[in-house]
Amino acid sequence: MSGMKTRNARTDPVLADLNDPQRRAVMHRDGPLLVLAGPGSGKTRVITRRAAYLVHTGVSARHILAITFTNKAADEMKKRIEVLGVAGGMWVYTFHALGVRLLREFGPLGRVRPGFTIYDEADRKRVIKDALAICKISPELLKPEAAQAKISDAKNRLKRPQAFLESADFFEQRMIGRVYEAYEQLLEQRNAVDFDDLLMRVAIVLRGHPEITERLNKRFRYVLIDEYQDTNHAQYLIARHLSQHHRNICATGDPDQSIYGWRGADIRNILEFERDYPDAVVVRLEQNYRSTGNILKAASKLIRCNRRRKHKDLWTDRGEGEPINVWRFEEGYDEAERIADTIVELHKEGRSYNDFALMYRVNAISRGLEESLRHRGIPYKIARGVEFYNRKEIRDTLAYLRVLVNPTDTVALLRIVNTPTRGIGKTTITRLVEAANDADRPLLEVMRAAASVSALKPAAAARVQKFVELIDQLQAFAGGSVADAVSNTLALSGLEADLRKAEEEGGEDRLANVEELVTAAKRYEDEAEQPTLEDFLQRVALTSDQDAVDESAGVVLLMTLHAAKGLEFPVVFIVGLEEGMLPHERSLYEGDVEEERRLCFVGITRARERLYLSHAEQRLLRGAMLPRCESQFLAELPDEVIAWENFDNESDGESSFGDGFIPLDDHRPQERLQRRSSKSRAKRRREFDDEPTFSPDDPTGRVLRLTSSSPYADWQPGMLVRHETFGVGTLQWIRPGDGQTRASIQFARHGRKTFILELAPVHKLQRGSV
DNA sequence: AGCAAGATGCTTTTT
DNA sequence: GCATCTTGCT
C-alpha cells in the first residue's frame, strides 16, 4: 500500500495513457475485481498494466498467476508484460496448460503417472469406440459422438462415472454411464487424459485437498483470468479455489462475446460474478478504440436483441466512418468472386493484404473463397494450426514418440505397429489385443512376448518381435535431445524412407512436413526451460487453431468467427449471413440463437474501418445446391448505417437495387429456381455438368430434426410452405418451444411474418404442388 | 496381407 | 465433399 501514493497517474508510464475506468481497474489492489470489457476497449492493456502495477507497487511477480484460453493469448500477454519489465517468475498459462503443470505436481492425487499422454479428439474417439465394444454396445445404438459429448459434459460438472451412474435414471443414461466407466478405465490403463481431465482432475484435487489449495493460494496471491465469459464449471471452480483465501481474483471478459456455450462454457459465471463476490468492484470499459461509429452502432443494435446480458454503452470518438455494406448474391460463387474482386481493388488503392480478414461460421465455407482468391493470385492463409499436426505423416511420427514416452499408450501403439507396413496385419493385431485383454497386461508387453502367444504363427510373431526391438532401440533417444528423438524416429522407423519413396513417385512433399516437425522440436528446445520429450508432446497436444493466426503475415486471413475472437482487422468480410448458417441451424433447433448473435457481434466488432456482410440465395453445401434465406440478424441492424446492395441481377426485377431496398419476393417456386440455376450457372461450375436438382424440403435426402417428437421435425429453413391467407412463402427460421413452435416465413406480397405453427394455418408444400 | 474401389457416414465452433 | 470403414480382389 505504501508505494501506491508515490505513483503519479500523470507521469507514471504504467498509468499515463489510460482512461478513467482503465486506470481504476489497473490500480485496484485487493479483493475481487470484475472488468467488463467491450470489444476494442483495451482489455489486454488493462491486464498487462495491472500486472505491471502490482509488481511496481511491491507484489513479487512470482505471486501472480494469469490464465488465458489460448496459447496465443498467453504468449502475447507474456510478451507485453516483458516489455513492461516485470515478467520474471510470473505464471502465464492457459487453463489446460496450467492443468498439465499442476497434474504433474499432484501426481497420484491427479491419478496420472509420469509421462502421461494427452488424448486429443481423434484419440478420444478411438477410446470411446473401444469402450463401447467392451460394454457390448453397438455404435448404432449409442453414437460415439453422443457418448463423447455426454461424458465431456459430465466431466465439466466434475461427475465421475460412479456419481454419474448413481443419478442415471433412464436406460440411455445408464448405458452412457457404463461407457463412461469403461472409458475411464481405459484411460487409466493407458496413463492418458483427455482435455476435460486436465480441468476436472485439478478441480477435484483442489476441492478435496484444502492444504494443497492453501499452498497454491500462498504461492499465487493475485489471480487474473481473461475471457472469463468462456469458463466452464470446472474452470470456474479452479479459479474460485485458487483465489479462495486471498480473494484477489480479477476476472476480465465480455458476456456479449461468450461463444463457447456449446462446449460447456457457462455465461452465468460472468453474469453472476457479483453474486459470487458481493464485494466485487466492477469496472466497465465502454470506450472503443478500434472501430468506426457505424460499425459500433451496428454491433450495439444487434447485440441489444439478446435478453440475457449486461448492457454496456459502447462508444467511440473516432467518427462515423463508412457505411456498412450488406451484399446479396444469387449464389455463394458470386459472393466469393465479388469479395476477391473487392480485395484486388482495395489492394490497388494501397491497402496491404493483411488488412483483410474473411470470416465464416463453418470451415466448409472456406473452399469457395479460397478458389476465388487463388484465381486472382491474392495471397491468403487459413487460420488452422492443428491442420499441421493432423497430417497423417505428422500423426504417425508423433505416435512413435508417444509410445516412447508412454509405452501404455495403446492408441498410438496400434497406429504405428504396421506403419510403415511391416507385415503385421489385422489378424495378428486382433490376436495380440485379445491376448493382452485376456492377460490384462499392456499391449506392448504382450508384443514383447509374441513368441508365447499361442494364437500367433511363428512368422507373424517374429515380425512383431522385430517391431518391439525397434521401439526398444528408439527408446534410447527418449531421454535426450527432443529434435534428435524426432529425427532418429523418422530414420529408424522407416517412415522417412517411406515418405521419400512416395514423394519420388509423384506424391506431395510430405517429407517436408516431417522435417518441419524436427524444426519445431528444435525451436521448442531453444525456448523451453527444461525441454523434455514428454513436455513437447503435451504442448503439441494443446496446440489449437487460434494459435496459428499470424496477423502480420502480409496475407489475407480466412477464419471461422470463433477463431476471430480477440483479433482486429481494418477490413472485415463476414460471409454466409443466412438462416441455418449464421445463426447455425443447430442453434435454431436447440433454441439458443443468442449465442449465434454474440458470434455475429464478435465478427462485426473485429472490423476497424470497413465491414462487408454478405449472403447468397443459394449455395453449394455438402455437394448440393441449397436455397438460402437471409439471416434474421441482417434485419436487426440499424438501417441508417447500412448500404444495401443486390448483385442478384437475374432476380425478377420488380424493384431497383442499390437504393436500400432488398426485394422480399424470394419465394420463387422451385421450378423457376431450378431453371435459372441450370441455365446460367451450370457452365460456370465444373462439378455441375448435370442439372442440379433439389427438393425444397429435403435437398440431400436427409431430414433434419427439431426434436424427434415434434410434428415439425423435418421443417428446415429454405423450404416452401403455404399459409392459407398469405400464400406460398419461404421458411426463414424455425424455433421449437413447448407447444409453440415459432417460425418466420417470407411471403411474396406480404413480407416476413412470424407464426406459432401449432396455431397458424401453415403447412408444408408438397413436392410438385406449387 | 495389403490394396483399391465402393459404400457409408458425417459435417459448428476447439482447449 | 471428404474421411473413414467395408468389401472384394490379388
- Gap between the terminal Cα atoms of chain A: 78
CB-side exposure of A459: number of CA atoms within 13 Å?
5
Does any strand C atom come closer than 7 Å to the Cβ of A687? yes
Quickly list H helices, A349-504: 366-375, 386-390, 392-405, 410-416, 426-439, 443-448, 458-475, 482-493, 495-504
CB of A591 lies under 7 Å from some atom of strand B = no
Nearest-nucleotide field for A126 (CA, C1') = C4
Catalytic one among A130, A196, A197, A226? A226
Could you tell me the distance in Å between the CA of residue A194 and the C1' of nucleotide B9? 25
The yes-or-no answer on residue A427 being catalytic is no
Catalytic option among A606, A608, A668, A681: A606
Based on the residue annotation, tell me whether A44 is a catalytic residue of this protein: yes
Q: Is A716 a catalytic residue?
A: no
Please report, rounded to whole angstroms, the spatial distance between the CA atom of protein residue A548 and the C1' atom of nucleotide C1: 25
At residue A674, the pLDDT reads 29
A622 CB-to-strand C distance under 7 Å: yes
The answer to whether A716 CB is within 7 Å of strand B is: no
| C1' (C4) to CA (A499) span, angstroms | 22
- pLDDT of amino acid A728: 65
Q: Which three cell numbers stand for residue A380?
A: 491468403
Distance A626 CA to B3 C1' (A): 37
Strand C atom within 7 Å of A508 CB: no
Q: Which of residues 81-100 of A touch strand B (CB under 7 A)?
A: 94-97
Block means of pLDDT (10 residues each) for chain A, 770 residues, are 54 84 95 96 93 92 94 89 83 95 94 92 87 84 87 92 90 89 93 94 96 96 95 96 96 94 90 94 96 96 91 94 95 93 96 95 88 92 74 87 94 89 86 89 92 86 92 94 95 88 70 88 92 93 74 86 92 93 83 90 96 92 82 92 86 34 30 29 30 30 38 68 70 67 67 73 55
Nucleotide with minimal C1' distance from the CA of A541 is: B15
DSSP A440-483: T--HHHHHHTGGG-TTS-HHHHHHHHHHHHHHHHHHTTTTS-HH
A679 Cβ contact partners less than 8 Å away, ≥ 6 residues apart:
none
Cβ(A270)–Cβ(A228) below 8 Å: yes
A257 is catalytic: yes
| Strand C lies under 7 A from the Cβ of residue A701 | no
Cell numbers given for A763: 403447412
Amino acid A384 CA to nucleotide C8 C1' distance, rounded Å: 38
**A181 has catalytic annotation:** no
Residues 6+ apart with CB under 8 A from A453: A431, A432, A435, A446, A461
Type of residue numbered A566:
G
CA distance A473 to A592: 54
All cell numbers assigned to A60: 513479487
Could you tell me which of A566, A583, A580, A34 has the C-alpha nearest to residue A306? A583
Residue A47 and residue A69: Cα distance in Å, rounded?
14
pLDDT at site A738: 62
Could you say which residues 151-210 of protein chain A have a Cβ atom less than 7 A away from any atom in strand B? Answer: 195-196
Alpha-carbon Rg of chain A, whole angstroms? 28
Instruction: Give the nearest nucleotide to A383, CA to C1'.
Output: B14
**Integer distance in angstroms from CA A564 to C1' C4?**
30
Bases along strand B below 7 A from a protein CB: 1-3, 10-15
- CA atoms of A203 and A159, how far apart (whole Å): 11
Q: What is the DSSP string of A516-549?
A: HHHHHHHHHHHH-SS--HHHHHHHHHT--GGGG-
Indicate the pairing of strand A742-747 with strand A727-735.
antiparallel
Q: Is the CB of A232 under 7 A from strand B?
A: no
With a CB cutoff of 8 Å and minimum separation 6, the contacts of A244 are A213, A217
Long-range contacts of A703-706 (CB under 8 A, 24+ apart): A704/A585, A704/A589, A705/A589, A706/A589, A706/A734, A706/A736, A706/A741
According to the model, what pLDDT value does residue A705 have?
30
User: Counting every residue, how long is chain A?
Assistant: 770
Output the CA angle A753-A758-A763, nearest 5 degrees: 70
Q: Is the CB of A587 under 7 A from strand B?
A: yes
| Secondary structure class of A745 (helix, strand, coil) | strand
Instruction: Give me the A residues in range 343-362 that sit within 7 A (CB) of strand B.
Output: 361-362
Residue A49 among the catalytic residues:
no
> Can you give the pLDDT at residue A749?
54
Sheet holding A64-68, edge to edge: A91-94, A64-68, A222-225, A249-253, A33-37, A281-285
The Å distance, CA of A426 to C1' of C7, is: 15
